Amino acid sequence: MISPSKTSTRYAIVVADFYRDIADALLAGAEAALAEAGVVREQITCVRVPGAFEIPHACARLVRREYYSVIITLGAVVRGETPHFDYVAGECARGVMELNLLGKTPVIFGVLTTDTMEQARARADTDKGDKGGAAARAAMAVAKLPNPAPR
């Protein structure tokens, strides 16, 4: 099997900073998983956005560059007392899915959607849930898939 560092695989990580401590933990997990697999710093670009709602726009801009092999999204949307959660989480997921359906650059959905901050922290913690690491491992698996034949 070819090591990711021996290829031209390039990763973009789009991080929503609304809950900065959770975002940083997710990013640390993703970077650690990539490094463990032999991905070097020069293969990774990190883009920060204010919140999860802005993730699809940032990803769309990166997809248009046709430079990255795969894009990883990270962030958290935590349920509150209003329907805001449903709109933000739903539209972020929909935007990422729409980009995936274009068939150009795969976009991994690593955005946490939780009921509480405690759940989000546990899932982001690299010693517990490590969902950032899980998103990076999914990205590396997808990056290894063969490109489909042109139609």
The verdict on residue 149 lying in a domain is no
What pLDDT is recorded for position 91? 97
What pLDDT is recorded for position 149? 57
pLDDT at 36 over 80: yes
The verdict on residue 148 lying in a domain is no
pLDDT, tens only, 87-133: 999 999 999 999 999 988 999 999 999 999 999 999 999 999 999 99
Q: What is the dihedral of CA 134, 136, 140, 145, to 10 degrees?
A: 70
What is the CA 32 to chain-centroid distance, rounded?
Answer: 14
Active site residue 84: yes
The verdict on residue 150 lying in a domain is no
Residue 87: which domain range?
4-44+51-143
Question: Model-level pTM?
Answer: 0.92
For residues 34-44, give the mean pLDDT: 96
What pLDDT is recorded for position 127? 94
Residues with Cβ < 8 Å from 109, sequence gap 6 or more? 73, 93, 96, 97, 135
Q: What is the CATH number of the domain that holds 65?
A: 3.40.50.960
pLDDT, tens only, 40-95: 999 999 999 999 999 999 999 999 999 999 999 999 999 988 889 999 999 999 99
For residues 3-11, give the mean pLDDT: 69
Domain count, the chain: 1
The verdict on residue 85 lying in a domain is yes
What pLDDT is recorded for position 147? 74
What pLDDT is recorded for position 5? 44
Which candidate in 84, 94, 104, 128 is catalytic? 84
